[in-house]
Chain A
Amino acid sequence: MSNAATFDTRTDTAIPVESPLAYSYRHSGAPRGSGYRLKLRERAMLGHLILRGGAIVLDEAVRDVLGISLPGQPQGLVQDASGERSIQWLSPDEWLVIVPGGEEFPLETQLRERLGDAHFAISDVSGGQTLLEISGEAARELLMKTVIYDVHPSNFPVGKGVTTVFAKATTILRRPSEERWELVVRRSFADYCYRWLLDAGSEYGVNVEQ
């Protein structure tokens, strides 16, 4: 076990917490209704970890601890059977792990124990970013006018994730399933992205699930 100082950044359950979009819901509203073609949902308070190091060493550790392997290809995204835990390729020596909220600190501790003196870094970035889910029949159409990346199914199959520009903000765009897209945005950009999504989606009709 390395001598890195670690601590659980998650607040005590007795302390009230608000999602990064709480402000946006109050100020911009959360449209609901029928006849929508676009559905938004925030998956707040998940555990986000950034893993850095050699692919082979990290792959063995992650497989032992989490039960899924690192994506073998650039732009890869792998999930466990439940779809709740995922690992995404960000760069040749960097991966983003997303797990249900509260699991990130035990996972980090286990990985540190398993990796021992290997050359690696684990950063808990749970407080810095949030995940937005976009689904509905107009989801791809909305992305087409917002993202500079080609989101056609031939170029963006399920199981792919890229870091790219979403309405001038740097975001991670991923496609965990056929009809669902995920945006991982910085907390400080969450309100901007949310309002962009409401505005860009208004022509299709938006339904925000809270």
Chain B
Amino acid sequence: MFYIYCPYCGEHREEEEFHPKGQAHIERPKEPEACSDEEWGNYLFFRDNPRGVHHEMWVHAVGCRKFFNMTRHTVSYEILETYKMGEQPSITADSQNQPREAAAVSDQEEVRA
């Protein structure tokens, strides 16, 4: 069971009150008529399936009935953060990987020096 923090209610609630609603931050093409079939098909049917950090949309179905976003780790299922609609995540796949890459680069530099 998850214990999920609803950013609108401002407190943690049982998973039973929530529903997952798929991938977050999917933007409808501004001009659908101008899309190629491939672009439209990608928008409509194809979703990311990353190993690691993933952004999802959830709804607090039994509580305030608001949609919000959640960042999760697809390997550990850990909830990294929840944030309101329209906001950008503070934790992304890049931000998670960056410190490690930066560390790796500095290691190499040390080796070279």
Contacts and interface: CB of A to CB of B under 8 A. Distances in A.
A148 B8 CA distance: 19
A205 to B, nearest CB: 30
Given A74-B10, A75-B11, A149-B14, A165 B62 contact: yes
A165 B9 CA distance: 15
A31 interface: no
Contact of B62 (A74, A75, A170): A170
Contact of B17 (A73, A90, A94, A165): A165
B5 to A, nearest CB: 12
Contacts of B65: 91
A165 B16 contact: yes
B22 to A, nearest CB: 22
A74 B60 CA distance: 14
Interface residues of A, number: 14
B64 interface: yes
A75 B16 contact: no
B63 A162 contact: yes
B66 A163 contact: no
Nearest to A170: B62
Contact of A164 (B8, B10, B62, B66): B62
A92 interface: yes
Contacts of A165: 14, 16-17, 62
Given A74-B8, A74-B9, A75-B9, A148 B16 contact: yes
Interface in A139-171: 148-149, 162-165, 170
Nearest to B15: A148
Given A75-B9, A75-B11, A148-B16, A91 B64 contact: yes
A164 B65 CA distance: 11
A163 B16 contact: no
Contacts of B16: 148, 165
12 contacts: A74-B9, A74-B11, A91-B8, A91-B63, A91-B64, A148-B17, A163-B64, A164-B17, A164-B62, A165-B14, A165-B16, A165-B62
Closest 7 interchain pairs by CB?
A: A91-B64, A148-B14, A74-B10, A74-B9, A163-B63, A170-B62, A92-B8
